[in-house]
Structure 1
């Protein structure tokens, strides 16, 4: 009997040891070493647009408090180009170990339709961690413009006065939103693409382009300085920062909705426990009053929430704008 008990104990011990070993191996596989995430190395936030824009600002605003919460450095790396798709491709190809994330803009929802040759599947290869927030875009004109209201713009366009507007680039959310608005409202206007918000605002303020469509982030400083006049915003509710500016829905286009948005994504196959932890920590960051205030100062309505909610929002945006791109033959720059 003693021998039997001894052998049974040995068998149990062997099973227990194998389970522990499997757990250690699984942990090593998920982090690339035996260290628990995120102890092994700094975390990289890839901002998919150049320094100075809203994506860069969002990444840096989130990085500092998140670093303190996780006890690990977070490095922001700017990797711009091709409407954010170059940076997104780099993250999609990165190791799925929880040490690389993408901070993306609304162009991520347009790119799958706009750039058929993307080296990744936007829905499958970059699962969302969190939707940071949304913001209205603003249709504005320069201070000396003849357009005092959006109705003036519509009247001029319908009178065939060759109304033109500028956006941050062909295939940008502003471009596709104005295309959809023109199609729904029977408005004929000419699109002038720019290479980003800075060049667009330079020409818009000078009156070289009569209308501009851009986020609150790029437009509001020029509204505050009285060099530009806002005519309408593209969200269903008025912008908190521009409470006197009507929505396009209020201006005769009910149901029109085209928000700018920002999100954090991860490479596919990132361990679910890491995605869960990062989502929890990002939600904690977004609920920090100081951080929320900084984001709101950029014109962003902070949202947060679950990865599933972020996925639902982003995939809906992809579907909406894919149809607009297809139906109107919109091409990338």
Structure 2
């Protein structure tokens, strides 16, 4: 009996020794600056989100969180950089919804989306909005569709790239509504917004987060949003479903990933700290009202399931419509 007791104690100590390094590592982390890679340029929705969390995490954890822009190829260049970074808890990436589209769109990607990255958190989702300059004649999406039908291939819309969620959404809507508009791909929400305001394109589709300030400031008009219900930050803007496309829904989303192999205790600590920050009333207001994000604050496991589901959905759209990258 005594011998059995000693064996149980020995086993418990052995397990504790195995677990202790990871737990201790998480307790001490971070001991040096942490890099958040933003794979899109400033002016869109990813960059301000990364910078908001970086500033708050710097205060909360006593180490500097630095945002580094590594842009190009619909976010895959910056994400690929993180996928190949040391899995030590000092490099993370803020991704956009293109993260789930790129595997089906970019055959030469240098990393495996599911195998080379560890999920941290699905921060939130948001409907997209189709916006146009305030001086354009279209008051809603129905008028835009009518104008496109009257003059096929005469109207243009921008998105944050070929194969972006905005591009795929407009592809589905054009097919369903039997109209055609010219797609102009951009390298981010900032450049696209500038051309909407400048009149170089008739309209542009992007997350509510990237267009909200222009719309609220009166320089841009929202023609429709793409969610199942109206956006809390744009309650007066009808959905596409309300304007002749019943049942239609597509949402933008933002998430954080780490290089595969990053210690789980560190991932769990970052997840917990980000959730705590997002629930702070001032930050919560900025995320939900200013950026128009519906917060999810998921577990790492929930983010992985979400990513797989989104990859499967949009892979089918890309294949059926012959979508090609820029």
Range into which the TM-score falls when normalised by the shorter chain? 0.7 to 0.9
In the other structure, the counterpart of 1:134 is: 125
Give, in whole Å, the separation in 2 of the partners of 1:143 and 1:69: 41
Counterpart position of 1:321: 314
2:233 is paired with a residue whose SS is coil
For this pair of structures, how many residues does the alignment match? 320
In structure 2, relative to structure 1, the CA distance for the partners of 1:273 and 1:202 (3 Å cut) is closer
Q: Deviations over 1:125-183 (max 9, x none)?
A: 21221111112211122223232221112223333443321222222221111011112
Alpha-carbon distance in structure 1 between the residues aligned to 2:196 and 2:275: 37
Can you list the C-alpha shifts for 1:36-66, whole angstroms capped at 9, x where unaligned?
Answer: 5404422221122223432121111112332
* Residue segments in structure 1 that go unaligned for 5+ positions in a row: 1-7
> Is residue 2:301 matched to residue 1:311?
no
How far apart, in 1, do the equivalents of 2:277 and 2:258 lie? 18
Contact residue 132 and residue 262 of structure 1 kept, 8 A: yes
Question: Of the candidates 211, 214, 219, which is equivalent to residue 203 of structure 2?
Answer: 211
| Structure 2 Cα separation of the partners of residues 134 and 39 of structure 1 | 28
- Asked if 2 retains the 8 angstrom alpha-carbon contact of 1:24 and 1:34, the reply is no
Q: Is the 8 A contact 1:27 1:36 kept in 2?
A: no
- TM-score, length basis structure 1: 0.86
Query: Partner of 2:292 in structure 1?
Result: 299
2-side partners of 1:198 and 1:270: how far apart? 32
Q: Is the 8 A contact 1:38 1:72 kept in 2?
A: no
- Which residue does 1:4 correspond to in 2? none
- RMSD of Structure 2 on Structure 1 (CA): 2.7
* Distance across 2 between alignment mates of 1:242 and 1:158: 27
Q: Counterparts of 1:188-199 in structure 2 under 5 Å?
A: 188-199=180-191
Q: 1:149 is matched with which residue?
A: 140
Structure 2 residue matching 1:250: 3-state secondary structure: helix
The correspondence of residues 1-333 of structure 1 with structure 2, limited to 5 A, is 36-162=27-153, 163-296=155-288, 297-333=290-326
Shift of 1:23: 6.1
CA distance in 1, matches of 2:44, 2:182: 25
Between 1:210-219 and 1:130-139, the stretch displaced more is 210-219
The answer to whether the Cα contact below 8 Å between 1:37 and 1:98 also exists between their aligned partners in 2 is no
Segment drifting more, 208-217 vs 242-251: 208-217
CA distance in 1, matches of 2:64, 2:127: 32
1:170·1:331 contact (CA, 8 Å) conserved in 2?
yes
- Change in CA separation of 1:47 and 1:27 when aligned onto 2, cut-off 3 Å: farther
- TM-superposed CA distance for 1:292, in Å, is 1.2
**Contact 1:128 1:310 (8 Å CA) reproduced:** yes
Which structure 2 residue ranges, 5 or more long, are not aligned? none
**CA distance, structure 1, for counterparts of residue 118 and residue 206 of structure 2:** 27
Which structure would you say has the larger Rg? 1
Segment of structure 1 superposing worse, 105-114 or 289-298: 289-298
State the Cα distance separating 1:289 from its structure 2 match. Answer: 1.3
Task: Say which SS state the counterpart of residue 127 (structure 1) adopts.
Answer: strand
1:307 shift after superposition: 1.6
